[in-house]
Amino acid sequence: MSEPVPRVTLAQIFGAFALIGVTSFGGGIVAYLRHALVEQRRWLDEDEFMAALEISQTLPGLNSANMSVIVGRKLRGPLGAVVAVLGMVLPGAAIVMALGFAYVRFRHNPDVAIILSGVAAAAVGLLLQVTLKIGWKQLIKPRDLAFVVVVFLLVGVLHVSLVVTLACVAPLAIWLNRPCAAEGKRTR
């Protein structure tokens, strides 16, 4: 069944991504994207989705925005990409602005201040949990763990700039994982 994908309109693309943008809470956007794009609308098959996700994670930028660019491009070229990113970002941005206004209005209220302290403390937990969930494979491999620790110390504790850190550490990390080295390890 290799019939061409029916032409998706820009409005459909915007609608689909805006719906993901307003319903995805708590950072699990990849799961929402997969459900909407692969299972519900069948705009991508499973392999295409994984390929898009790999590129999104390797390139800088938010995964969700990068996924929108790639899927939008695939469906309708440059305009599709623009519309998909706008759909993904604008609803959340509007809600964040509304929350921001409420925050500015009420932050001097001691009850609100203390609730926000609780929210901030919980947000740190969420962030740590997501990091551990994505990174446990790196944390149990000694060589990867060494890179994790070095990058953490450079950026988090010593405040070395991100540009300098990436310029020094990334080439080394990629070189150590270069194709022929991996090949040699496999045959040994």
Partner 1 sequence: MTKIVGLINVFALLSLLAVGGGTAVLPQMKHDTADLHHWVTDTQFAEIYSLGQLAPGPNMTCVILIGYEVSGWVGAVAVLFAFFFPSSLLCYVVSSAWDSARGSPWRDAIQRGMAPIVIGLMLAGVYAVGKTASFNLGRGWEFNAITLAIGGAVVAILTLTKLNPALAILAGGAAGFFLLP
Compute the CA torsion angle 134, 140, 141, 147 (nearest 10 deg).
Answer: 60
Q: What is the nearest approach in angstroms of partner 1 to the Cβ of residue 50?
A: 12
Task: Give the count of residues interacting with partner 1 (CB under 8 A).
Answer: 98
Task: Please state, in angstroms and as integers, the Cα–Cα distance from residue 126 to each residue in 65, 71, 129, following that order.
Answer: 21, 28, 5
Three-state secondary structure readout of 27-58: CCHHHHHHHHHHHHCCCCCHHHHHHHHHHHHH
The reply on whether position 114 binds partner 1 by CB under 8 A is yes
- Mark 22-61 with x for binding to partner 1 (rule: CB under 8 A) and - for no binding: xxxxxxxx---------------------xx-xxxxxxxx
Q: What distance in Å separates the CA atoms of residue 170 and residue 93, rounded to the nearest whole number?
A: 32
Q: Which is nearer to partner 1, 15 or 78 (CB)?
A: 78
* Of the candidate residues 6, 119, 140, 187, the single one contacting partner 1 (CB under 8 A): 119
> 52 to 111, contacts with partner 1 by CB under 8 A?
52, 54-66, 68-70, 73, 78, 81, 85, 88-89, 91-93, 95-97, 99-100, 103, 107, 111
The reply on whether position 140 binds partner 1 by CB under 8 A is no
The reply on whether position 15 binds partner 1 by CB under 8 A is no
What's the token pair of residue 55?
């590129």
